[in-house]
Structure 1
Amino acid sequence: MRTLLFFISIIALSGCSASHYLKREIDRSAVLSQQHTGVSIAKINEKKVLASYQGDKYFIPASNTKLFSFYAGLSALGDSIPGLEYLEWGELLIIRGTGDPSLLHSDLPHSKVFDFLKNRKDQIFFTPYHFENKRFGPGWAWSDYNDYYQAEVTAMPIYGNIARFKGSPAGQYQANPRFWQKSMVQDTTVSGIEREELQNVFHYPKLADSQGITKDIPVHMTDLLTLQLLSDTLKKEIKLINIPLEIDLQTVNSIPSDSLYTRMMQVSDNMLAEQLVLLYATANKLPLSSEKAIAHAIEHHLADLPDKPIWKDGSGLSRYNLFTPRTIVALLQKIYAKVPQERLFKILPAGGKSGTLKNLFKSEQPFIFAKTGSLSNVYNLSGYLITKRGKVLAFSFMNNNFTKPTADVRKEVERILTGVRNKY
């Protein structure tokens, strides 16, 4: 009996010591002293929290929001992405987008949707009737329309809804797709490529960037432009018809789901995350509406989280998003239960090895597999930590409202989590 009580006390002290270590290191940190910090850590498959520091407080998650979009995708999609829905009507083919971002996307595998459309002999019509989103999400910075990370949201993206410019040996820019070459205007007043806000005219400086350097500039998308780009690439005319399709449609799958998840997580691709939320809507027979998709996901898959998520977009660009660290940890538990560890750790950035964690947590074997989340005055890291004893922990370390350099905050997160790895 005494032996049993001894082991119980040791386990209890272990939990207390983890929380004590966390509080001590955060309170003593000169870097973290004037900001808002919240941390929650739990062993995998255990509801009891191992350590917490303001784990029940709400924080702006930035790209940690992508963990919610990832789980929504896991809950609704199979091994392949539904790339296109269509109706055969006599000699006509009527198509509509599913939100799939892979069509002619330079950084994703070749989409089977392209082959399907290329090989059809029918007259093809595209309907955007079911698309209810605006081009930007709630709370996005409209002045960021020219920045690579804020591509517009559409029913059927093409080329990732961006124009890619690459510096050439002649000191000029080459556009991909070539469609945009004619829309470039030399301008001595700009230092980089700047698009006019409401039309696709790209101003560029006299000398291009060094050869091989690429710049991605979001395109101002319309339904007609989508069809222009698609027609130009397919070498056949695609026409617009704005009608509802209230019957069962056939589906063409495009790419493996994991290829989308991995790209989204590794480089923190906002466009892919936004479109993934629309794919969730398609899978649940909803209109293409981020708001309706998120409400559905919360009701049907996330109602058991400790604190209700304030979830507004797919990518985390919106500062309206608010999650607590313990809620993110609960979500990580749900993800881990749904995806085998080997597969999951290939999708997430690995410390010292890949993605946004390539230069952090360096060791012989990665022990951190996690999603970063950064905005101005925001740096978060949430994911999985493998301790020296081989235990897998789910953690969320959230930092908001700091004025010190993000690099300093990042180093403190690295230091404290490395201590958790070594001690527990």
Structure 2
Amino acid sequence: MCKSLVFKILRVLSIFLILVLSSCSSQRKVQRFLDKQLEAPQQDSEFIGILMVDAQNGDTLMSLNPSRYFTPASTTKVFTLYAALKELPQRIPAVKYQFRGDTLHVLGTGDPSALHPVLNDRTAIDFIQSPKHVVMHIGTLEDPSWGPGWAWDDFDQSYQVERTSLPLYGNVLRLIRGSESPQVSPEVFRDSVFLEKTGYRRSPERNHFFYEASFRDTTVIPFTIDAGLTKALWEEAAGRPIIPGKTLPEGPWKVLPGIASDTLYREMMAVSDNFLAEQLMLLVSSTLSDSLSFTRARDYILKTHLPKLPSPPRWVDGSGLSRYNLISPESLVYLLMDLYRELPEDRLFALMAQGGQKGTLEDWYQDPDGPYLFGKTGTLSNNHNLCGYLKTKSGKTVVFSFMNNHYLKPTALIKSRMQRILVWVREHY
């Protein structure tokens, strides 16, 4: 072998060795910084899990309790987003339908977009206005209205909305401040709203709503739903009579395409909308059968798309409202890495909450040059988590999950510590 060729080989090997040693040194530097940040005695009273991975080469930069199970709160929505991206088409299935002569039969898919306060989709409303007769089949939801482990005393809070097969108006009442009395939407509840000081904003048993004279400009209150109310709401919205369906007709159903799926995903992820997350899992179920079941959708996703998922989760709802959920940092990173490999970066990042922008990260990770952190927060009492993608100043992408459970200090201090660590990684990796 000639000397020049040997020299070239040695030079390539030297460069490769330098790069490997440099990468290892960088990883050790990041891990040492994390160890120093979390070595204080006050950390002993809380439970912390962290995993940070280089998106390009899969190298682990930080690791602390990566396979341990945590209460994930709304980071559970990463699982819901993953399920939706795998199974739903580019446009949300608004309803399923069949024509039988001059009669239109409609079957709910769980689409939450119809006249939703933000999404305000009219696809299904407009569709049912023309046929001579409309039969609406409501009883396809196999799950209870609430998920397992949801808090009973949050029944009147805007973040705990009932799940249904044919939602309308986001399944919430809106009170909008007027000059004399509040505006009520939907109007079917106009005579069920009372100026009265009570312990709750709605009666636990029925749709009687209460407000005080000093209420906010807009107050949102979930209503409780049954077949009769569903019929009344859709009749009011469409301006026409609707016949309750008793027996599903035989034969195949067609699907009416609705709102762009990414529009719904962005709203769910940015503001952490629990109702949209729950309904998305029902939508996934609607692609598998004519009945709607979170359990069916979850089991299918885990078996079909995630058979190699590390530390398989205890996944009981779509939103993360339940404290029964248990998920590890490495499971979240696994999903985020899979999505990063499959989706264009600009589309994927646009679906997430963005640092310094609208959503749950609006007041954190701000930068005048634009967002550099894209992810999903998750908060319950004494628990705060964050996972997603971090763009470093060197141009690298870090996939991470940072979970904090069972602390007693103010959540703002937890957020500040997380931001300090993640900003340091951004600047030094």
Q: Structures share a fold, TM > 0.5? A: yes
Give the aligned residue type for 1:9: L
- Aligned residue in 1 for 2:299: 295
2:317 aligns to what? Answer: 313
Aligned to 2:20: 8
Distance 2:325 2:290 in 1: 22
Q: In structure 2, what is the equivalent of residue 169 of structure 1?
A: 179
Counterparts of 1:263-282 in structure 2, within 5 Å, are 263-282=267-286
Distance 2:35 2:187 in 1: 56
Residue 133 of structure 1 deviates from its aligned partner by 1.1
| Contact residue 286 and residue 292 of structure 1 kept, 8 A | no
Look up the SS of the partner of 2:299 in the other structure: helix
Counting only pairs closer than 5 Å after superposition, residues 111-260 of structure 1 correspond to structure 2 as 111-118=122-129, 120-170=130-180, 172-187=181-196, 189-190=197-198, 194-205=201-212, 207-209=213-215, 213-260=217-264
- Aligned AA (1:141): A
Secondary structure, in 3 states, of the residue corresponding to 1:215?
strand
Give the deviation of 1:125 after TM superposition: 1.2
Give, in whole Å, the separation in 2 of the partners of 1:15 and 1:29.
25
Deviations 1:361-391 (A, max 9, x none): 1112211111100001110000000011010
Q: Deviations over 1:184-239 (max 9, x none)?
A: 1222x337x7111121011222x1425xx111100101121111011012121112
Instruction: Quote the residue 2:6 is aligned against.
Output: none
1:391 aligns with 396
**Structure 1 residue 85 displacement after superposition:** 0.4
User: Does the aligned pair in 1 maintain the 2:126–2:238 contact within 8 Å?
Assistant: no
Give the drift of 1:246: 4.9
330, 334, 342: which one aligns with 2:346: 342
Question: Tell me, which stretches of 5 or more residues in structure 2 are unaligned?
Answer: 1-9
Kept in 2, the 8 Å contact 1:129–1:243? The answer is no
Question: Which residue number corresponds to residue 419 of structure 1?
Answer: 424
Tell me which amino acid in the other structure corresponds to 1:149. Answer: Y
* Higher mean displacement: 49-58 or 388-397: 49-58
For 1:280 and 1:299, locate their aligned partners in 2 and report how far apart those are by CA, in whole Å: 14
> How far is the alpha carbon of 1:45 from its aligned partner?
4.2
Distance 1:18 1:245, change over 3 A: farther
User: Which stretch has the larger CA shift, 132-141 or 358-367?
Assistant: 358-367
SS at 2:113 equivalent: coil
SS in 2 for 1:330: helix
Distance 2:289 2:20 in 1: 51
Report the residue type matching 1:190 in the other structure: T
What pairs with 1:68-107 in structure 2 (closer than 5 Å)? 68-107=79-118
**Deviation for aligned residue 1:307:** 1.4
Q: Stretches of 4+ moved more than 6 A in 1?
A: none
**Residue type at the aligned position of 2:223:** V
* Kept in 2: contact 1:173–1:208 (CA 8 A): no
- Residue 408 of structure 1, CA deviation: 1.0
- How far off is 1:316 after superposition? 0.3
SS of structure 1 residue aligned to 2:98: strand
Indicate which of 13, 17, 24 corresponds to 2:36. Answer: 24
Q: Which amino acid aligns with 1:7?
A: L
Contact preservation (8 Å) 1:26, 1:33: no
> Once the 2 structures are TM-superposed, how far is the Cα of residue 139 of structure 1 from its aligned partner?
0.8
- 1:345 and 1:175 map into 2 onto residues whose CA distance is 36
Q: Could you tell me which residue of structure 1 aligns to residue 5 of structure 2?
A: none
TM-score of the aligned structures, taking structure 2 as reference length = 0.93
Match of 2:366 in 1: 362
In 2 relative to 1, CA 184–419 (structure 1 residues): closer, same or farther, beyond 3 Å?
same
Match of 1:46 among 54, 57, 62: 57
1:55 to 52, 61, 66: 66
User: SS state of the match for residue 40, structure 1?
Assistant: strand
- Residue identity over aligned pairs, in percent, reads 36
Q: Deviations over 1:132-161 (max 9, x none)?
A: 010000111111110000010000101000
Aligned match for 1:377, one of 367, 379, 382? 382
Contact 1:168–1:208 under 8 Å retained in 2: no
Quote the Cα distance in structure 2 between the aligned partners of 1:156 and 1:176. Answer: 17
The one-character-per-residue Cα deviations of 1:96-129 (angstroms, maximum 9, x if unpaired) are 10010011112004231111012x2321111134
Deviation track 1:8-56 (CA, whole Å, cap 9, x = no partner) reads 22222222222222122122374x4421000000111434422211111
Check conservation: 2:74, 2:272, Cα contact below 8 A.
yes
Distance 2:149 2:58 in 1: 33
Which of 41, 45, 50 is the equivalent residue of 1:34? Answer: 45
For residue 360 of structure 2, give the secondary structure of its aligned residue in structure 1: helix
1:240-286 CA distance string (max 9 Å, x none): 12323553101111100011001101110000000000111112236
Corresponding residue of 2:406: 401
Q: Is the 8 A contact 1:150 1:270 kept in 2?
A: yes
Aligned-partner Cα distance in 2 for 1:348–1:173: 34
Distance 1:225 1:46 in 2: 54
Please tell me the residue identity of whatever aligns with 2:312: K
Q: 1:144 to 1:275 in 2, by over 3 A?
A: same
The 10-residue stretch of structure 1 (402-411 or 46-55) with the greater mean CA deviation from structure 2: 46-55
CA contact (8 A) 2:104 2:131 kept: no
> Does the 8 Å contact 1:329/1:395 carry over to 2?
yes
The 2-side partners of 1:367 and 1:141 are apart by: 35
